[in-house]
């Protein structure tokens, strides 16, 4: 099973600019697929276990995006939520 997400950047993807006027860092999308069902492992309760995850790089100036993640099948757990995050790494 696959989780698929698409979207657009408005404005287009960009990086922060340092004091010298140069762009710094890198851009990345992350797609996480989680279940709302909790389970217990010994004395630890796992809430919203992850069932799939993927990362994709983003280019400066990019206006649209597409990301896919394989979803692990676990007996008794269904994917209930997909979360897409957009992050800048290594900026000023």
Summarised one tens digit per residue, pLDDT across range 43-59 is: 999 888 889 999 999 99
pLDDT of residue 21: 87
pLDDT of residue 92: 57
| Tokens 């008794």 -> residue | 76
Q: What are phi and psi of 65, to 5 degrees?
A: -145, 155
Instruction: Name the stretches of the chain with pLDDT < 70.
Output: 91-92
pLDDT of residue 33: 93
pLDDT of residue 39: 85
pLDDT of residue 36: 86
Listed by start position, the domains of the chain span 2-89
Strand stretches in the chain, DSSP E = 2-8, 26-34, 39-41, 44-46, 50-58, 64-70, 81-89
């Amino acid at each position: 099973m696959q989780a698929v997400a698409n979207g657009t950047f408005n404005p287009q993807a960009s990086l922060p600019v340092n004091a010298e006027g140069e762009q710094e860092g890198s851009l990345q999308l992350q797609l996480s697929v989680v279940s709302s069902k909790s389970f217990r492992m010994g004395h630890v309760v796992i809430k919203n276990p992850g069932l799939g995850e993927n990362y994709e790089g983003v280019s400066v100036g990019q206006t649209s995006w597409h990301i896919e993640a394989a979803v692990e099948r676990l007996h008794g757990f269904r994917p209930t939520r997909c979360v897409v995050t957009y992050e800048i790494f290594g900026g000023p």
